[in-house]
Structure formats: C-alpha cells, structure tokens
Structure 1
Amino acid sequence: MTWSEIGFFALVVCAALVFLAWQAASRLDRLHRKVAASRIALDAQLVRRATAALDLASSGTLDPASSVLVAEAAYQVMDDVVSIGLPPTTDRPDPRGRRAADVVAAALAMDGLGAAREHAESDLSATLREALGSAQEVRELRSADPGDQLVGALAAAWYRASLARRFHNEAVAQAQRVRRLWYVRFLHLAGRAPMPLTVELDDALPDGLDPVAG
C-alpha cells in the first residue's frame, strides 16, 4: 500500500469519525431541546393544576378547614413558581406574570423543578387527596354544579400534569443515556450543558378522581 493510499484511507476514516461525531452532537442537541420543551410544558400544566385547586378551594364546595389547607398548599406552589421570575407585586403573586425569558432560562438549566418546588407540588397532591376524601366523597362533590365543573377541571389538569411529568422524565432518560456513551464523554459532545435531571414528586391522583384529559 502506497503512502498516498494510506493517506486517503486515513482521510476517509477521519471524515467518517467527524460525521459520526456531528450526528451524535446533533442528536444530543435535539434531546436537550426536547428536555427543555417538556420542562416548560410540565411547568405550565402544574400551574394549571394549582389554579384549579385554588378555584375549588374558593368555591365553598369543600368544608372550610379543607378549603384553607388546599388554598395554602396551592399558594405555596404559586410562590415557588414565581421565585425565579419577577418580584412579587402582591401578597400572592400570579405565576402568569413571569417573563417568558425566566421560564425558558429555568427550563434550559435542566435541573428539574428544584427541591422546594417539588416538595410544594407533592404537598399539594397530599392535601388535595385528604380534602377530596374517598371515591364516594368525590362522587358526591361531582353530583351537582359547581362541584362537578370544578372537580372535573382539577381532574383534567392533574391528569395532564401527570402525563407531562412522564413525558419529561422520558426525555431526560433519553438524554442521560446518550450522554453516558463513551464517545460522547470522550469528545465532550455535550459541551457545557448540564446533565438533565428528572422531576420527582407525588402526583398520584385521589381515588375516584377520573383521569380525564378533556
């Protein structure tokens, strides 16, 4: 084999390696974007769930003690939501007042929701389960308006939030698998992007709360 043939063969191998590295980097970039997008979607669905819980708590449908507990748990979620955004302008800030840039920046950090937010969301789930009670009590709440409408809205928001968390964690798992590949680590194809983290919280629906997505 002549030197020219060896050189040509080495050039082909290098070109193939560069192409494969480019493919892997592109795939990883797409996965990171998928994680960020699913994180934004999850955040929005959890805010809708907290809003639906507040609507239920303020409706007079629940007993007074349960209404207070649910409202406090939902407000805690709202407070944690805006903690990365605009300074509160009221005692109970509206999470919809956050700048879009704040939401995107939090998603690009790919560090889940943070321990405080996950704890607040889990506490809201536990408080709602306690307030709604058994499946029979849920059916009684839904026996007439406004209970039927409010509980139905909460069920839909809760179900969508659960699905959004599942999709987000699947996206994170995909990205983590790719980032653990030896050639991805050896070539530093992830750059300075942080390792994505899953969102771990209690979002189990109460008994009798139909998981409807409508």
Structure 2
Amino acid sequence: MRWSETAFVVALLVALGLWCVWVAASRLDRLHRKVAASRSVVDAQLLRRATVAAGLATSGQLDPVSSVLVAEAAWASLSAGAAAGDAGVLPPGMRDLLATDEPTAGSGPDDRGRVESELSATLREALGDPDDVAALRADPDGDELLGSLGSAWYRVQIARRFHNEAVAQTLRARRGPVVRLLRLAGHAPAPRTLELDDEWPAALGRPGARAGEGRP
C-alpha cells in the first residue's frame, strides 16, 4: 500500500473517530437537557398539586384538624418548590391558617422527595374515608377542588415517570466506553431520579380518571 493510500485510510479512521465522539457528545448533551427540562415539568406539577392542596385546606371543606395538617404539608411543598418568601401562589387565608410566617425551602432532592411524600401521606389521610370524599363531591366547590387535585396528582405521576426514565437514559449514556474514556461528561453532575411517595388516595378512584376535569 502506497503512502498516499495509507494516509487516506488514517485520515478516514481519524475522521470516523471524531464523528463518533461528536455523536456521543451531542447525544449526552441532549440527554442532559432532556433531564433538566423534565425536572422543570415535575417541579411545576408538584407546585400545582401543592397549590390545589392549599386551596382545599383553606376552603372549609375539610375538618379543622385535617385542614391544618394539609395546609402545613402544602406549605412545606410550596416552599420547597418556589423561591423563599414567594407567597404569590398561596390561596387567601393560608397564612392565617398556619402559625409560621415564612417557608423553609428544602435543600436538595432528598428533602424535596421527603416533603412531597409527606404531602401525599397527609392527603391520603385526609381523603381516606370514601364517605367524606363522597360528601365533598356532592358540593360543587368540593367536587371542583377534588377534580383539580386529581388532575394535578395524575400529572405529577406521569411527569415523574418521564423524568426518571430520562435520568436512566442519561446514566446509561454516561457509562458508555467512549464517554468514560474521553470524559465527555466533563464536570456535569450525574443526574438523580426523584424518589417520592405519590400513591393515589384510594377514595378518589382510579388515577387519571378525572384528569380532564382539573383546571390548567
């Protein structure tokens, strides 16, 4: 093989290698962007659920004890998802119902998962009696609140499922030999799934059955 042919083969191999690296880097970048976007969607839906829960707590539809417990859990969720001191998403009467004046924002993914799990557990307890839920649905305002809560809760479940799948895809890509050898991930932190208890209250019926009735 002449030197020109050898040089051509080498150049072709180098070009092919560079192309493979570019493809791997581009895919990894897209996956990281996908994770960031999906996490923003989850945060928005969690904030929406907490807002509806806060509205339910201040509506007078629940008993006094449940109202306070749901309000406290919703307040913690809102403060974990929104900027500290931003009370624009709070319904009227929220501050009057709670003893605290300012929210304490969560400091990380584990804190967010814990706070949201506590809200889920509190709502399941408050809406655990089918008779109470039926009485709420008999009232137009209560039915609207439960419909909105159902819609928000269902969207939380779907958004978190897509986010965790995006994280899994990104982690698989980061473990690829080319990515690891050339350190294409750079200093970008490895994404983490959002683990939380989002089990649906049984008394509300099948998750998503009323998803279309909630307000956007």
TM-score, length of structure 1 as denominator length: 0.85
CA RMSD of aligned residues (A): 1.8
* Equivalence map 1:44-193=2 (5 Å): 44-82=44-82, 85=83, 87-88=84-85, 93-94=87-88, 114-193=109-188
CA 1:203–1:7: 2 relative to 1, 3 Å: same
CA distance in 1, matches of 2:5, 2:179: 30
When residues 13 and 135 of structure 1 are mapped into structure 2, their CA distance, relative to the original with a 3 A threshold, is: farther
Return the offset for 1:140. 2.8
Alpha-carbon distance in structure 1 between the residues aligned to 2:109 and 2:88: 19
Contact 2:24 2:178 in 1 (8 A): no
Over residues 118-164 of structure 1, what are the superposed CA-to-partner deviations in whole Å (9 max), with x where a residue is unaligned? 11100000000000013443233212221100111101001001111
1:203 corresponds to: 198
Q: Name the structure, 1 or 2, with higher relative contact order (CA <8 Å, separation 6+).
A: 1
Residues 128 and 203, structure 2, Cα contact 8 Å, conserved in 1: no
State how many pairs are aligned.
193
% identity of equivalent residues: 54
CA-CA distance at 1:113 after TM superposition: 5.6
Q: Within 2, Cα distance between the matches of 1:60 and 1:2?
A: 88
Specify the code of the residue in structure 2 equivalent to 1:73: A
Contact 2:150 2:204 in 1 (8 A): yes
Q: How far, CA to CA, are the matches of 2:150 and 2:71 in structure 1?
A: 17
Tell me how far apart the structure 1 counterparts of residues 129 and 7 of structure 2 sit (CA, whole Å): 75
TM-score of the superposition, structure 2-length normalised?
Answer: 0.84
- AA aligned opposite 2:155: R
How many angstroms does 1:196 deviate by?
0.8
Instruction: For residue 211 of structure 2, give the secondary structure of its aligned residue in structure 1.
Output: coil
TM-fit CA distance, 1:208: 2.9
Inter-partner Cα distance in structure 2 for 1:170 and 1:64: 40
Letter in 2 for 1:183: V
Deviation at 1:37, TM superposition (A): 0.5
Structure 2 unmatched runs, 5+: 91-106
